[in-house]
Amino acid sequence: MKTILITGCSSGFGLETARYFLERDWRVIATLRRPREDLLPRSERLRMLALDVTDPHSIAAAVQAAGPIDALVNNAGIGLLNALEGTSPQAVRELFATNTLGTLEMTRAVLPQMRTRRCGVIVNVTSTVTVQPLRLLSVYTATKAAVNAFTESLALELEPFNIRVRLVLPGRAPDTRFGENARARMADGIPEPYAALAQSVFESWSASGPVTRAIDVAEAVWRAVNDASCPMRLPAGADAQLSVQA
């Protein structure tokens, strides 16, 4: 039985991916900052572990508790919606610590066991804003674009050890808490010169059109893990497909 460790399973993409793999007979290590047993159906193949990807001690403890890991999904992330001028240095560091460095450090922690066994898959979940930029997401986009570059270089680095590395790029996902959380991090508010721009952005986000569902991401991760012939970048969602083709 194969084991997958997924970060950021409190809701949205991570939670749905954990459910998807659990339903397909994988052993699932679902991680989140504050584990809740009611999030997923009870199963002997499910284990929920506390994990803060910005804390080296938390990472080490979770990886040790998980045991052998066949697939790692770096999904944990936070959003921030604001103009650069309205984003504090502390908020910038927080985003990079979670979205970028958290991915690097989780990967670093799991690599030795995969390299020793000469097998494994690492899937990093980023965003289509890295291929089709949007307004007021410059800092967030930078954190995810860094992961894209890291992933593509790492794939070459790990190829001799038979470890595959892939990217999943979701689009706009109104059925997750990303937008809500991103707005909540506008602690300093939108600077007045950007107020009209922000209003138009909020209106565009509420407009109808193709979107990404959590199940789209789960299916893309499943393919990334199980299909060795799949491309490096996998768009997840109808809007994501359009963004990548643009």
Chain segment 198-220, per-residue pLDDT in tens = 989 888 877 778 899 999 999 99
Greater confidence (163 vs 198) lies with: 163
What CATH number does the domain containing 77 carry?
A: 3.40.50.720
Annotated catalytic, 20? Answer: no
How much is the pLDDT for 205? Answer: 75
As given in the structure block, the two tokens for residue 90 are: 């502390």
Count of domains for the chain: 1
> What does the pLDDT look like over 100-129, one tens digit per residue?
999 999 999 999 999 999 999 999 999 999
As given in the structure block, the two tokens for residue 215 are: 């199940």
Note down the domain range covering 7: 3-245
Closest CA to 10 of 44, 26, 33: 33
Catalytic residue among 20, 21, 140, 194: 140
- Alpha-helical regions (H) of 34-84: 56-66
Q: How confident is the model at residue 37 (pLDDT cuts 50, 70, 90)?
A: confident
Q: Alpha-carbon distance 56 to 64, whole Å?
A: 12
How much is the pLDDT for 175? Answer: 67
